[in-house]
Structure formats: structure tokens, C-alpha cells
Structure 1
């Protein structure tokens, strides 16, 4: 039995690492489909591989970091011949999610995102702070390898950092929400979900490809999905909207027509950031209120049961009620 357990642990570790690496590569390739070029720098508005890496670290533990490194290595190899910058990019793409996981755990982060503080921690610690590590390491590696001009350093760094941060803000909550799902919704909920999906698909397509710059039309749909389906609905809607906006920005149509590459990048990233923050924080607030209301209802039910028990057993039948003592009368002298 001991020998079997000793053999089983490396096998499970290797299988988990290969699974994480495969998910990382697939997510990275999907993100590169919507890549944009700004001042000679190629960036992805939303880099889902970073969000996948952080979700795996939060769910499976820090022990799966070799899978992240392996996935980052194979993803870089799939883009072109390897160079001296590969080591720095792989180290940065691994260190960023690992730092985010460590910071979130120190802050008491819960993967169900049932509190507002969890959403704020994911925004400021997981996305904005930790992704400074991956972007800095990657861009410095490109600069030292001679693949990036010094004049394009800050534009490339900003695009890298924002892409990784958007991956954490949009992709990680979706994966965590899907991981926390324990039972399918009822038939009535499925009907509402289908109606929401149809409305979202139509409205988002019109908003992102219309020349009237009607991106603001997507916010009512995001609020609807967050109110009715909380984190899973809100973040799935935000993810779909971000993908459609990235496609429109890549093709230069709709709200992104007749804009310079820098203006496209700024407009797209500001839109994705505001959309992700709205969906994430609103979902966290609604989930927190739902849990608070459920806790209050459970406490009220327990209190009602205790009062009912005391009422039923407080004065048993058959027990004589004691009579109050009569006051003694003072006798005078005979």
C-alpha cells in the first residue's frame, strides 16, 4: 500500500501538470486570435492564459506551478523559434500568477467570491499588482534579447500588463464560478438563461459593431445577468462582450472605426476594464447579500425552533402550580 501511494503521487502530479499546461496553451492560442499591433508591439486585449493559470493555482494549490511554466514554454515555442528571451518570459508568466495566488491567500481570499472584499482583492492584488511582475519580466527579456526597441518599451509594457490584468479580471472569476457549481439550475432558470443568452448575443453584436458607438448598451444586460445569475452569469456576459469588442477592434469596425492604433488600444482596454469591474463587483455584492439573507433566515428558523421547544416543555401537564403563601396575621395578647 505504501509503495502504491508513493507511485500514485508522482503520477497524479504529472497528470495535473500536463492538464494545466494544456489548458494554458489552448487559452493562450485563443487569446492570440484577437491580437493587435500598436507601435510595433503585438498584444492581446485579454490574455486568458494568465486567468487560467491563476484559477488553477487557487483551486489545485501552488504545487501546480510547473504546469504553468510548461504551458508558457510550449506557448512561446509555438509562436516562433526560441531565443534567449524565452527564459525570462516563462519565468515572468509563472511568477505573475504565483505572486497573485500568494497575495490573495494572505488576504483571506475565498474562491467562491461571496464577499465584496474578495472581488476587491482580485482586482487590486491579483490583477493590478501581481501582473506587474509578468509584464516587467517579459518586456525586459525582449529588450535584453534585442527583439524590442527601447522607444517601444513603455507601450509594450503597458499592453502586456493590461492584457494579463484583463485575463485575471475576466477569465479567473468565470472559471472559479464554474468550479463552484454543484447542481444544475431548475427548468425555469434555464428558460431565463436562454432568453438572457439570446438578448446578450444580439445586443452585444449590435453594440460592438454599430457605427453609433453604442457600447454603453451592454451594461443593462450585464446588470441583468449579475442580478439573476450572480457571478457565473455576470462574468460570462462580460467575457462574451469583451471577446466581441476585441474582434471589432481587431477588424477596425463599429465603435473602433477610424481610430489610430493607440486610440483603439486605449478605448478597448478602458471599456474592458470598466465592464469587468462592474460585473465582478456587482456580482460579489449580490452574492454577499444573498448569503447574509440566508444566514439571517437560518438564524430566525433556529430561534423559532428553540422558542417552540421551550413553549412545549416549559410547563408539563400534571404538575401542580404552587399557590402563593398567605401573609401571616399578627395575634394580639389574650
Structure 2
């Protein structure tokens, strides 16, 4: 039995590493389908692999870092040949999600995102702070190797940083929700979910492709989905919206028509960022309030039961009847 367990651990670790690498690579290829050009540098408005990497670390732990590194290497090699700069990009793309994981663990992050503090930690530590590492290393390598002029550093750095951060804000919560799913909701919730999905599939393409600025129409859907379905509903709605908005931005249609590349980047990233923040933090607040209400209801129910027993002359739970605390009475 000892020998079997010892052999099983490396096999499980190898399987996990391969699965994480495959997921990272697939997410990278999806992200590369839509690109924008800023100061001659090509970047993706949303970089899904960063969200996949942080989610894998939160689910599997630090042992999956090798799978992240392997997946990042495969994505980089699909774009360019092996060179010394690849090593630095690989280190930055691996270290950023690892730093996000370590910082989130440090503050007691819970992957169910049932508290407002968890949502804030994912936003400010997992996305905005940790992704500074990958963007700084990546753009720094371009600058040192003379592939990027010095005056273009900050626009390209900002685009890289925001793209990585958007991947964490949008993709990581969805993967955590999928991992935590245990059983389907009741039939009555499915009817409401179907109605929400039909309205979303009709309204979101209209908002992201209309020449009239109608992007604000998405926010009532986010509020509805957060109120009724918490994180699962709001983040799925945000994911669909961000994908369609990115497609419209890269095609230069709808509210992004007639804008320069820099203006397209600014408008798209501002919209995706505010939408993801709204969906994530609103659902966290609602989930936390519902959890608090359930705790108060349970406490009230227990208090009512104790009062009923006291009124009936019975002892409260956990206390022996009066006169029996010191054992059976002795004879005089």
C-alpha cells in the first residue's frame, strides 16, 4: 500500500501539471483571437491565461506552478522562437499568478467569494497588484531588446497590465464558481435563469454593437443576476458581455466605431473594468448579507426553542435539570 501511494502521487502531480498547462495554452489561444495594436505593440484586451493560472493555484495549490510555466512557455513559443527574452517573459508570466496566490493566502482569502473582503482582495491584490509584475517584466524586456521605443513604454505597459488584470477579474471568479458547483438549482430557479439568459442574449449584442451608446443597458442585467443568482449569475453575465464588447472593439463597430486604437483601448478597458468590479463586488455584498441574515435567523430560532423549554419548565439544552447538577441526592 505504501509503494502504491508513493507511485500515485507523482502520477497525480504529472496529470495535474499537464491539465493546467493545457488549460493555460487553450486560454492563451482564445485570447489571441482578438488583438489591438498600441504604439506598434500587439496586445490582448483580456488575457484569459492569467485568470486560469490564479484559479488553478487557488484550487490546486502552489504545486501547479510548473503547469503554469509549461503553458506559458507553449503560448510564447507559438508566437516567437526561443531566445533569452523568452526566459524573462516566462518568469514574469509564472511569477505574477504565484504572487497573487501568496498575497491572497496571506489575507485569508476564501475561494467561495462569500465576503466583501474576498472580492476586494481579488480585485486589488490578485488582479491589480500582482499583474504589475508580468506587465513590467514583459514590457521591460521589449524595451531592453529595442523592440519598443522608450516613448511607448507607458501606453504599452498600461495595456499589458490591464489585459492581465481583466483576465483575473473576469475569468478567475467564473472558474471558482464552476469548481464549487455541487448540485443544480431547483426547477423554479431554472425558469428565471432561462428568462434572464434570453433577455441577456438579446440585449447584450444590441448594447455592444449599436452605434448609439447603449453600453449602460448591461448594468440592470448585472444587478438582476447578482440579486437572484449571486456570483454565478453576475460573473457569467459579465463574461459574456466582456467577450462581445471585445469583439466589437477589435472590429471597430458599435460604440467603438470611428475611434483611434488608443481610444478604443481606453473605452473598452474602462467598460470591462467597471463592469467586472460591479458584478464581483455587488454579488459579494449580497452573498455576505444573505449569509448574515441566515445566521441571525438560526440564532433567533435557537433562542425561541430555549424560551419554549424554559416556559414549559424544561431545562435548556446542555444543562441538567435543577437539583441534579451535583449528582443524585444523598440520604440524610
Partner of 2:77: 77
Partner of 2:21: 21
Partner of 1:95: 95
Unaligned runs of 5+ in 2: 316-332
Question: How much has 1:180 moved relative to structure 2?
Answer: 1.6
Question: How much has 1:307 moved relative to structure 2?
Answer: 2.4
Partner of 1:195: 195
Matched, 1:38 2:38: yes
Partner of 1:324: none
Partner of 2:236: 236
The TM-score normalised by the length of structure 1 is 0.92
The TM-score normalised by the length of structure 2 is 0.92
Question: How much has 1:304 moved relative to structure 2?
Answer: 2.1
* 1:84–1:145 CA contact under 8 A, matched in 2: no
Deviates more, 1:274-283 or 1:296-305: 296-305
Distance in 2, matches of 1:79 and 1:198, equals 38
Partner of 2:292: 292
Question: How much has 1:313 moved relative to structure 2?
Answer: 4.2
Question: How much has 1:77 moved relative to structure 2?
Answer: 1.0
Distance in 2, matches of 1:145 and 1:2, equals 52
Distance in 2, matches of 1:97 and 1:215, equals 31
Deviates more, 1:235-244 or 1:83-92: 83-92
Distance in 2, matches of 1:145 and 1:175, equals 36
Deviations 1:39-67 (A, max 9, x none): 21111111111001000101111111111
Partner of 1:110: 110
Q: CA, structure 1 residues 84+148, in 2 after alignment: closer, same or farther (shift >3 Å)? A: farther
Partner of 1:319: none
Distance in 2, matches of 1:283 and 1:36, equals 31
Q: For 1:88-167, what aligned pairs fall within 5 Å after superposition?
A: 88-167=88-167
Partner of 2:227: 227
Question: How much has 1:314 moved relative to structure 2?
Answer: 3.2
Question: How much has 1:4 moved relative to structure 2?
Answer: 1.1
* 1:37–1:261 CA contact under 8 A, matched in 2: yes
Distance in 1, matches of 2:313 and 2:53, equals 58
Alpha-carbon RMSD across the aligned residues, in angstroms, is: 1.2
Partner of 1:255: 255
Distance in 1, matches of 2:141 and 2:15, equals 30
Question: How much has 1:232 moved relative to structure 2?
Answer: 0.6
Number of equivalences: 315
Partner of 2:322: none
Bigger radius of gyration among the two: 1
Partner of 2:51: 51
* 1:68–1:94 CA contact under 8 A, matched in 2: yes
* 1:20–1:56 CA contact under 8 A, matched in 2: yes
Question: How much has 1:146 moved relative to structure 2?
Answer: 3.4
* 1:222–1:234 CA contact under 8 A, matched in 2: yes
Partner of 1:8: 8
Distance in 2, matches of 1:151 and 1:36, equals 18
Question: How much has 1:310 moved relative to structure 2?
Answer: 3.0
